[in-house]
Amino acid sequence: MQADLFNLDTELDASAIAGVDEAGRGPLAGAVYAAAVILDPARPISGLADSKALSAARREKLAEVIKTQSLAWCIALASVDEIDSLNILRATLLAMQRAVEGLSVQPQLALVDGNQPPRLRCAVQTIVKGDAKVQAISAASILAKTARDDDLMRLHALYPQYAFDKHKGYGTAQHLSLLREHGPCPEHRRSFAPVRALLQP
């Protein structure tokens, strides 16, 4: 359901609005993560911003505050297998759907970063660059990013030869060089062109 007429000055109670964002659409490895957050109007959180604009240390501190002070939050993912079978866009929307459905409080409206709405039971409004405009989306971006970064550290422990701790799975020169040297691991997205090319005889 698309809520085309929503604007940020609506009288809708903020406690009925979830912010939704993802992390990890672009990398060559690892799951794609999404988070949904309903902020508590009575417990504002200072310093919320697009997760990409924050240091890792600041994101980690804010993530703990968000989990403590929000009315509800949920982090979800779509696996590498789901990314490869569905495509990255559909897998991202699935992760967002799982995050919203996993909230302990169901929202009346979901504000989603970007321009592609997931299928939800509540109304949906997409907002381009919403992670820099809407605090609830900023909070969701921080939870998704920190959860994905934590998961890439887990992958680094399993596959240290790829240096996932350095590039977090993105297609950097270092990652591409290591990928060519070692070949793909089970956590590489085989539907992504640089990985797919290495699997072709």
**Mean predicted confidence (pLDDT) in 41-67:** 92
Q: What's the domain count of the chain?
A: 1
User: Which CATH number is 91's domain given?
Assistant: 3.30.420.10
Q: What is the pLDDT of residues 142-192, one digit of tens each?
A: 999 999 999 999 999 999 999 999 999 999 999 999 999 999 999 999 999
Domain presence at residue 101: yes
DSSP 3-state assignment of 9? coil
Judge whether residue 201 has pLDDT over 80: no
Q: What is the DSSP letter of 37?
A: E
Domain presence at residue 6: no
Domain presence at residue 86: yes
DSSP 3-state assignment of 125? strand
Domain presence at residue 172: no
Domain presence at residue 168: no
**Mean predicted confidence (pLDDT) in 65-82:** 98
Cα–Cα distance for residue pair 76/98, rounded to 1 Å: 6
Domain presence at residue 3: no
Domain presence at residue 165: no
Mean pLDDT of the chain: 92
**Mean predicted confidence (pLDDT) in 36-61:** 92
Cα–Cα distance for residue pair 90/85, rounded to 1 Å: 9
Q: Are 51 and 142 in contact (CB under 8 A)?
A: yes
What values do phi and psi take at 78, rounded to 5? -120, 135
Cα–Cα distance for residue pair 168/189, rounded to 1 Å: 13
Cα–Cα distance for residue pair 22/44, rounded to 1 Å: 22
The model's confidence at residue 11, banded by pLDDT at 50, 70 and 90, is low
Write out 53-113 in H/E/C secondary structure.
HCCHHHHHHHHHHHHHHCCEEEEEEECHHHHHHHCHHHHHHHHHHHHHHCCCCCCCEEEEE
pLDDT at 52: 85
Pseudo-torsion of CA 16, 67, 156, 88, nearest 10°?
0
Domain presence at residue 164: no
Q: Which domain holds residue 43?
A: 14-151
